[in-house]
Every structure is written in C-alpha cells, then in structure tokens.
Amino acid sequence: MIHTGDAIEPRHADAHLLVVDKPAGLLAVPGRGADKQDCLALRVQARWPGARVVHRLDQATSGLMLFALGADLQRRLGRLFEQRQVDKRYVAVVAGCVADDRGRIELPIAADWPNRPLRRTDAEGGQPALTRWRVLSRDLARHRSRLELHPETGRTHQLRVHLQAVGHPILGDALYAPPAVQALAPRLLLHASELAFTHPQTGQALHVVSPPPF
C-alpha cells in the first residue's frame, strides 16, 4: 500500500522545489517487488504530481531530501550536486569517544561484490571519498559521541563505511556495525540535518535545517 502525501509537511516549498523529511525505514524511491513500492518519492508525488527526485538517502537514514518541480529544475539541481555546490550536513551518534574535536576521513570506497549491497574501503580500486567531521558532544558514561558530518563526495553508504573504517561505527547500523553496536539503538542513528545551496531559479541562498529525532 502506498500512503498519500497528505501528511507531508515540507521543510521548504516554493514554485520550483521542495525539501522534505524522509522517515527512517522508508525507501527514498520504489524498490523491486510489490512490497517495496511505498516510498517517499511516491508519497510526495501523490501531493505534488510534478515532483522529481534530485538525490537519495539510504532507507535506514532519516532527514532532508530535495525534490524538483519539473524536469528542467531536476537537471539544474542535479548539476549542483555533481559540481559539489550543495552543502550537506548530517548528524550521527557513533560508538566510542572520538579523541579529536574535528578531522577528515579520506578513504576510497568500492562495491563489496561478494557481499552486495555492502561497500568497503579500497585503496586500489575505490572511488575517491572525503568526509569531514566534528564532535558535537561526547557521552563518557555510555561511551559514544555525537558528530556533525560533512560529506564532500556522495558515494553510496559513504558515511557508514567511513565511520566503521576508523573504528567508530554508527549506532544501530545493521550493515556495518558489529552486533553489540547494532543493538544500542532501534534504528540507524544517522540524520540528514542540513542542505544549503543557491536556488537555481531565484539565485537566493537557501539553507534548510531538520533537527535530528534522536
């Protein structure tokens, strides 16, 4: 069953584009099979028939997704992503108390073909991937940290793979965290919290914020 878009309240809406919160656990676009048709794209299109997906989030990730109202805006917004002119910020809660206050993870990422759909770091055959991060808070008692993440590239599962690779997997990550870390949260604690870019139609600076629900 596909739900209607009546309950969707955009974080931003104008005559050209929408920014909408995707709940954790909901697909961004339809998957394969009748049981994977309900998704944010179809819910949005039930209310805004001309809406087109510009970028995607993992099913387990919550937060901001951008939709264009028309094919021309979709192409123009897509180019902004390709040219890295969209500032994306995420919030995550990770295992362990991160030692430094800020830093960068620069590890190439490739498909892990024997274990699809997983990805892995691969210094030889991977695509370049860069994540900047800073610590928002540390919980010494529960041995975890809250981070702001700024991916400068957009590889599949980039944030999840990078944090696992440096020893701080995201809580609730069913794909990349060890079982004990998976069990620390009922969902993946990763949220797309900010999008900032120049509106391609109006030329105005647009900055949309979604507070994390965890």
Q: Say which CATH number the domain at 119 has.
A: 3.30.2350.10
pLDDT per residue over 77-136, tens digit each?
A: 999 999 999 999 999 999 999 999 999 999 999 999 999 899 999 999 999 999 999 999
Q: How confident is the model at residue 3 (pLDDT cuts 50, 70, 90)?
A: low
Handedness of CA 81, 207, 159, 132 (dihedral sign): positive
Q: What is the pTM of this model?
A: 0.94
**Domain assignment present for 172:** yes
Residue 208 lies in a domain: no
Count structural domains, the chain: 1
The verdict on whether 58 is a catalytic residue reads yes
Q: Which of 6, 21, 35, 58 is catalytic?
A: 58
- What are the tokens at 45? 């299109």
- Domain range for 180 is 89-190
Q: Which helix (H) or strand (E) holds 13?
A: strand 12-13
* Paired sense of beta strands 190-198 and 62-69, if any: parallel
> What does the pLDDT look like over 171-205, one tens digit per residue?
999 999 999 999 999 999 999 999 999 999 999 99
